[in-house]
Chains A and B, each alone.
Chain A
Amino acid sequence: MLILTCPNCGIAADETELHAGGEAHLTRFGAGSSDDEFESYLFMRKNTRGVHFERWRHSNGCGKWFHAARCTTTLEVFGTYTAKTTQPPADLIAKIKAKRPDFEGFTK
């Protein structure tokens, strides 16, 4: 039962209020894309052990989507941030690096 703070409404929400949306910052490939591009978009996911960026929706709350950076093994939450971005904010990356020196940074 995770608690994540929704950056849109500021509420520290129980997992029962939230809906998980899978890996964050995927690049959408639509019509005209190559087979490899489309495969990467539709099927290939990271399944990270450690620092992971993911999408959540505050579905039983304000209804808005947001992003969370979380450790998949310890469940430590490094931060949540807006859904309106294609990559994690730099200050969050810096914060994670400070806590996890072996974290290599965000890669698509």
Chain B
Amino acid sequence: MSTRLQNGGRLVDRSTKLDFTWNGKRLTGFKGDTLASALLANDELLVGRSFKYHRPRGIVAAGPEEPNALVGLGQGGKYEPNQRATTTELFNGLTAKSQNHWPSLEFDVGGVNRVMTRFFPAGFYYKTFMAPAFAWKHVFEPVIRKAAGLGAAPAAEDRDADRYEYFYAHCDVLVVGGGIAGLAAALQAGKSGAKVLVLEQENTLGGRAPVDGVTVGGKPAQDWIDATTKTLHALENVRIRTRTMGAGVYDHGYALGYERLTDHAPEIAGPRHRLWRIRAKRILTATGAIERPLSFAGNDVPGVMLAGAVRDYMANHGVSVGDRVVVATNNDDAYRTAIALKAAGLDVPAVIDARVVADGALPMKAREMGIRVEVGKAISSVYGNKRVTSVGICSQAGEGTKTDELVCDAVAMSGGWSPVVHLWSHCGGKLNWDTEMAMFRPDPARPPLGADGAGFVLVAGTANGYLDAATAIADGHAVGAQAATEAGFAAGEVAAPVGASEAEGPILAVWSMPQGQNKKLQMKTFLDYQNDVKVSDVRLAAQEGYESVEHTKRYTTLGMATDQGKLSNINGLAVLADSLNADIPQVGTTTFRPPYHPISMGAIAGEARGGLFKVLRRTPIHDWTDANGGFWEPVADWRRPYCYQQAGESVKDAVKREILQTRNSVSILDASTLGKIIVKGPDAGKFLDMLYTNMMSTLKVGRCRYGLMCSENGFLSDDGVVARLDDETFLCHTTSGGSDRIHAWMEEWLQTEWWDWKVYTANVTEQYAQIGIVGPNARKVLEKMGTEMDLSAEALPFMAFADGEIAGIKARPYRISFSGELSYEVAVPAAQGQAFWDAALAAGAEFGITPYGTEALHVMRAEKGFIMIGDETDGTVIPQDLGLNWAISKKKEDFLGKRAQQRPHMVDPKRWRLVGLETEDPAMVIPDGAYAVDGTTQANGVKHMIGRITSTYYSPTLERSIAMGLVEDGPERMGDTIMFVRTDGTTINAKIVDPVFLDKEGARQNV
């Protein structure tokens, strides 16, 4: 059984006990424990079930590479699924539960999948669920949905109770990894004067060196680590962050760090996670290495662990994983585990070494301690279900015939170590296969390149392929100096630290244990623990023609779990290479993508939530609207009132009331969101002639003209009224959502194409409040507000404007109308918008003035057949489609979009064109977007469509349903009745009519 040893555990404080809950069970650990070490100390070996077969799974590793021990942490707004027990620091009151089982971890119904293993081969989903079609929807999908998913998502009503934030940091040298190589590098760079940032994912510095008995300068590594840390802390130009993972490396020296501030101590106030957005001149990755499992049958039974992890739990937490631990290896490093176990008084029945010769210092020492060393041997199979009971021994050279069986309760395995090359590779750093060391290591000649064409990522220590302490620390020292130099600093005069550890003999590449493992054993030999990918699956994929490692990955799901193949990738691609009879470098690795280890969604969002998620633009009337029944809807970055609800009134009734009030008397509209762009200069007219389809240069001062803007593709992009303020100055109104886009569009042409034209633009949208006084009594209201301006039809006719004062406020009324009524849109300085609004309400009281919202605006413009950008247009509509030929100049030589509108498809008479539509049943409103059909069916079985609805409303003015739509031959088919289909298959008949439903001659607005 796994238990807490009497002594040892350099990281735990045995005087501070911590209570925690595991699946409802109350357990105790020590300060300094991880959840994994505390679970092992309590003999909780079984921590979860695998994804596909629901096999019992135990802790395998001691770090972020852990594939099995994923748990749900916390409760309510603090609940988070899929947290790794190995990277979760224990705290008092921690609650954790296991995942992927039903009804319980001990007894799991899904485990039946395990019995069905032979029916769940690689590509199972693709192969099984092909037919019949109905079976997918009614049988497979419901079953899979219930069983699928890793962990449970937080409840929808629970909001994340924590806070997150970003940090922006700039440095000369970013060191990722605070092991001995990283510290040596940081010291060199720090002493050079470079601004250095060191990130370490653990809460302690020094990495594995203290666990592995490394010495520096003849003393225990910890002494050097402590001294170096102290020196670094004293340097003002060096910053060290523990519990901060280097998550990703991106273009031009950009890197992401992920700091976990309160996960280990929720009582600390402040943000939980912090995302560091770092720009560094040089990024030095000293990210160490990860041990590989060995591929033998039963290597997923709880109790089978990485040899290094077994050593970690003993040295760091004083926890033994078993009383009798068999060690299986292909290298010398695992002997350190055997020796440590033996030294702690535990039983090591044997070291099973796949190599024929093992006579290095470590194997000899093990033998001297009385440990049985079996060379040329392999584990044929591990026995046990929820924990290891024994292992079968066979010859490594054979197929797996058991020659011996050893009783044990744990297995420590080591298939060698793989440098953590992720950060090196994220941005394109290349790797070499080192046959002798059996690993991929960075190729320093092919680093990721920065803006200046030079490599900006350097790699040092174990991550650079130097697995022994002496060369690793020396490499850190040298590469640290190199990074500082490349960042423009003279390397410091630090003496090179001299590291030492026991010499290691050569490794033997073992990708299959035993060598010729028979098929039956292959089916029990796991490569990817989390996704249940076995050796047999990869071999099957190869047999079925999946030669690319990227395809095999997706077909078998190898390395696609949340650990992203940290343990499985190398073993998997080696099996693939073997199956394909190819070399490992020929097969290559899959792409390394950030983040290195999952980071929280909260950290990615940072502070951008709630009111900070997006900037909200407010008109000067925003607060009044909010206080007076405004029923908000989002319009671009603005909020606009859909309508203004009065007490006890429905939205629908409010819209109807607002329309009738406007048509019958007078209303007020906040139109401040309209874009307002000043275009000024001697060439302003010439410029606007290019931008708009119609002629703007001929516009008289004091007059307005409605204009259309198209893209170079010819498609309608924006519309609005242009006013000529003086000879050289125009004011262009844009749609509410279009002001920034159109201003940028103008600037693009002025800066990149016609830079010699004398034109300036300024977006003055927010400088003015624009308030519409609309309705037959509009003039009376303005006059009553108090003005010396002559607002009569003669002095200020339709499509004219004037400057003056109204209600003592500097005002510019435009005689423009989007409703078809007598209408003045009055621009006043933004700061006086509310005052003007209040004055208008007071003056209009006798006419029953009320404000109206966007829906009333929409209905009234549709009654008049005015188009709306975004309703009648969708990026594929040209002005000609909308019957706007009158607004397209025939005199102008050129304008943006003109050439495109001459293309054959644009002049095709069969293009759908705008018409009005009246339903046979006046009460029936056609659904928006509904398609018109002619009753025929196309060759592909789809109903032939001849048009679609673009705007559709119930008109209170006309007391009937009205719609606008684009219809094939529409304008030629006036009076015809056509059919629209609803989503339930029923149809609505509507008559094609003129799109102007109300006041075709414009009498109402020309008064």
Interface positions of A (Cβ within 8 A of B) = 1-3, 14-15, 21, 28-33, 38, 41-42, 55, 57, 59, 63-65, 71, 74-77, 83-84, 99
Contact = CB atoms under 8 A, between A and B. Distances in A.
A76 B453 CA distance: 5
Interface stretch (B30-38, B570-578, B896-904): B896-904
B899 A55 contact: no
A1 B255 CA distance: 9
B254 A1 contact: yes
B755 A75 contact: no
Interface stretch (B52-60, B94-102, B745-753): B745-753
A31 B427 CA distance: 45
Nearest to B451: A77
B539 interface: no
Contact of A1 (B250, B747, B755): B250
Contact of A31 (B251, B452, B894): B894
A57 B449 CA distance: 24
Contacts of B896: 30
Interface in B867-916: 893-896, 898-900, 902-903
Contact of A83 (B252, B755, B902): B755
B713 interface: yes
Which residue, B254, B752, B753, has most C-beta atoms of chain A within 10 A?
B752
Contacts of A29: 899
B744 interface: yes
B744 A99 contact: no
A39 to B, nearest CB: 10
Contacts of B253: 3
B755 A38 contact: no
9 contacts: A30-B896, A31-B894, A31-B902, A42-B900, A55-B752, A59-B744, A65-B748, A65-B752, A75-B252
Nearest to A75: B251
Nearest to A28: B753
A53 B813 CA distance: 48
B748 A76 contact: no
Closest 4 CB pairs of A and B: A1-B254, A76-B453, A31-B894, A74-B449
B712 interface: yes
Given A1-B254, A59-B744, A74-B453, A32 B894 contact: yes
Contacts of A74: 449, 453
Contacts of A55: 752
Contacts of B898: 30-31
A38 B744 contact: no
A64 to B, nearest CB: 6
Contact of B752 (A14, A42, A83): A83
Contacts of A31: 893-895, 898-899, 902
Contacts of A65: 747-748, 751-752
Contacts of B753: 28
A65 B250 CA distance: 25
A59 B452 CA distance: 23
Interface in B74-115: none
B250 A84 contact: no
Contacts of B899: 29-33, 38
Contacts of A38: 899-900, 903
Interface in B419-459: 449-453
B751 A2 contact: no
Interface string B743-767: 0100110011101000000000000
A75 B253 CA distance: 11
B252 A63 contact: no
A1 B449 contact: no
- The range of chain B's interface size is 20 to 34
Contacts of B744: 57, 59
Nearest to A3: B252
Nearest to A33: B899
B894 A57 contact: no
Contacts of B254: 1
Nearest to B454: A76
Interface of B: 250-254, 279, 449-453, 712-713, 744, 747-748, 751-753, 755, 893-896, 898-900, 902-903
Contacts of B903: 38
A33 B748 CA distance: 22
Nearest to A16: B277
Contacts of A33: 899
A64 B751 contact: yes
Contact of B453 (A28, A83, A99): A99
A33 B451 CA distance: 39
B610 to A, nearest CB: 22
Contacts of B449: 74-76
B896 to A, nearest CB: 8
A21 B748 contact: yes
Contact of A3 (B451, B751, B894): B451
Contacts of B752: 21, 55, 65, 83
Contacts of B893: 31-32
Contacts of B453: 71, 74, 76, 99
A2 B452 contact: no
A28 B712 CA distance: 10
A43 to B, nearest CB: 10
Nearest to A8: B751
Which residue, A15, A30, A59, A71, has most C-beta atoms of chain B within 10 A?
A30
B352 to A, nearest CB: 47
Nearest to B252: A3
A26 to B, nearest CB: 9
A23 to B, nearest CB: 12
A19 B465 CA distance: 40
Contact of B451 (A21, A28, A57, A76): A76
A96 B560 CA distance: 41
A2 B753 CA distance: 25
A29 B895 CA distance: 11
Contacts of B250: 1
B451 A42 contact: no
Contacts of B751: 64-65, 83-84
Contacts of A63: 747
B713 A75 contact: no
Given A65-B752, A76-B452, A76-B453, A42 B894 contact: no
Contacts of A77: 451-452
A55 B751 CA distance: 11
Contacts of A32: 893-894, 899
A34 to B, nearest CB: 10
A29 B400 CA distance: 74
A57 B513 CA distance: 59
A54 to B, nearest CB: 12
Contacts of B279: 3, 14
Nearest to A25: B752
A55 B748 CA distance: 10
A63 B453 CA distance: 27
Given A74-B449, A83-B752, A1 B252 contact: yes
Given A3-B252, A42-B713, 13 more contacts: A1-B250, A1-B251, A14-B279, A15-B251, A42-B900, A63-B747, A65-B748, A65-B751, A76-B449, A76-B451, A77-B452, A83-B751, A99-B453
B453 to A, nearest CB: 4
Contact of A84 (B251, B755, B895): B755
B712 A42 contact: yes
